[in-house]
Amino acid sequence: MDAVGHPRADLLNLLESADALIVRSETRVDEELLAAGPRLAVVGRAGVGVDAIDLAAATRRGIVVLNTPGGNTLAATEQTFALMLNLLRHTTTAHQRLQRGEWSRRDLVGTELAGKTLGIVGIGRVGGNVAARARVFGMRVLAYDPFVSQARAEALGAKLVDLETLLRNADIVTLHAPRTAQTQDMIGARELGLMRQGTRLINCARGGLVVEEALLDALDSGHLAGAAIDVVREEPPPPGGTARRLHGHPKIVATPHLGGSTHEALARIATELAKDILAVLDGRPPMAAVNAPAVPDDDVRPFVDLASILGGLYPQLLERTTLPSFSLTLEGEIARYDAEPFVVAFLVGLLQHVTDRRVTTVNARGIAAELGIAVEVLAAKCERGFASGLSLRGGELALAGTVVHGEQPRLVEISGYEVDVEPRGALLTTRHHDVPGIVGKVGTVLGEAGINISHMQVARDGDGNAIMIMGVAAAPEPPVLERLRALPGLNVVRCLVVDR
């Protein structure tokens, strides 16, 4: 349902039957709006900033909030340099004169980037890309970011310093910080005063990082040589306000929030956001949740999905009604990653089968705590012949899996039985005595019920016991399962369903 350009009241009405909501920066997602969507499971921000979304209210309701932090990284990086070069080379002014039929360049002598010091405030995705490209221009790079290590800054060719040192020594200051309570108005009259005479300021990050009245004063006084801004505090700016005065200032180059507006960035954002929304609606962990553990990178996502699959399989294989404490072991190369996304994914898969509450990556930890479910995380070498694996133990039941070909989950162990099963769709599992004829009898019952078998595997132990796993086209109805359970020699018959 498309509500673009509609009044807020129309959006509130549409949310009554919506499972997901996608917004841009103009839409204010507050308590009222969230309450209007009783089925709402996920809010996706097509972009980076989520300051217009009430994260606390969404978290209370178990609603996952997504953004697309990497989708417009290159676009915002290039916009930064577009404005920087425009500001230093007077491109807009020169173009306007030519359009008026004037050939005048005497007062348009520009400044080169090479040899200048660039101060980057916030050296995350965009700031890091700006740093790398600034080095190619021959610039010296200083960086301020309280959440980044010196090693990370050095890897990008930047020297990490405190904010005051950066402001005092930079020829150009570019902002790439998020808008938070800590960064709101971070560049005010004091900070602008610390900058050297003739410094230039670039803001392609978020409106509200700069005190606009102070910036206007610094430009009027001649302390700053110029500024380039893609964002302002209130968008679009109201008539007669400070932002409007900035947009018309002769020392300003301004654009109407075009940082992420490229065809390539919009395509990436749409694709990434659609994948993450589908993941949430399918009960899988997303890559870019703002109010839930984030999946580190694409290489790890299949293992996080595997953790969710193991969690979903466990209660379907459990032979008792109470849940024990669990241990989740990260084996091999994935052991170096933060365990939280794996634990939360496991809990999401598990809890969907043991509670009627809506479980997401946002509230899984809280629900587990209410139910007294504890998860211990261990790390170990992977001794199964794979680079990485996940193993789960709860009571007497143990499961293990891995990922093959970079994306395909595989179940490789069920309580000591070595298997190789793709956990997808409906799986019929049995425990039986290892005697001839069992496979045929099960196949006969399924054939008479019109249920096709897609694949089958039998694993044995050394004591005359075996398990069988069959991929079936459809989950058998209860009467079919009862017929199977009545077959001589079959001890346990279960139908597992893996939704993915």
Measured CA to CA in angstroms, residue 120 lies from 71, 253, 278, 472, 479 at distances of 21, 19, 36, 57, 68
Please provide residue 115's backbone torsions phi and psi, each rounded to the nearest 5 degrees. 85, -5
Look at the block and give the residue holding tokens 């940082």.
Answer: 259
Look at the block and give the residue holding tokens 């002014």.
Answer: 93
The answer to whether the CB of 136 falls within 8 A of the CB of 110 is no
Question: Does residue 236 have a cis peptide bond before it, meaning omega lies within 30 degrees of 0?
Answer: yes
Determine the 3-state secondary structure of 431 from DSSP: strand
206 is catalytic: yes
Alpha-helical regions (H) of 108-236? 125-136, 150-155, 163-169, 189-194, 212-221
Return d(Cα 286, Cα 309) in angstroms, integer: 14
Return d(Cα 375, Cα 479) in angstroms, integer: 37
Longest CA–CA span in the chain (Å) reads 99
Return d(Cα 432, Cα 428) in angstroms, integer: 13
Residue 427: name the closest of 384, 460, 457 by CA: 457
Using the CB atoms, write b or e for 431-447: b if 16+ within 10 Å.
bbebeeebeeebeebbe
Catalytic residue among 61, 90, 179, 206: 206
257 is catalytic: yes
Amino acid at 357: R
HSE-CB of 330 using CA atoms within 13 angstroms: 20
The answer to whether the CB of 22 falls within 8 A of the CB of 50 is no
Return d(Cα 141, Cα 152) in angstroms, integer: 13
133 is catalytic: no
Cα–chain center distance at 252: 35
30 DSSP β-pair partners:
none
Catalytic residue among 154, 234, 235, 482: 235
CB contact set of 216 (below 8 Å; sequence gap of 6+) = 242, 245, 246, 249
Please provide residue 361's backbone torsions phi and psi, each rounded to the nearest 5 degrees. -65, -20
Determine the 3-state secondary structure of 34 from DSSP: helix
Please provide residue 260's backbone torsions phi and psi, each rounded to the nearest 5 degrees. -100, 10
The answer to whether the CB of 200 falls within 8 A of the CB of 226 is yes
Cα(first)–Cα(last) distance of the chain, in Å?
25
Determine the 3-state secondary structure of 180 from DSSP: coil
Catalytic residue among 179, 257, 284, 301: 257
Query: How many CB atoms are located within 10 Å of the residue 497 CB?
Result: 13
The answer to whether the CB of 394 falls within 8 A of the CB of 314 is yes
Active site residue ranges:
206, 235, 257
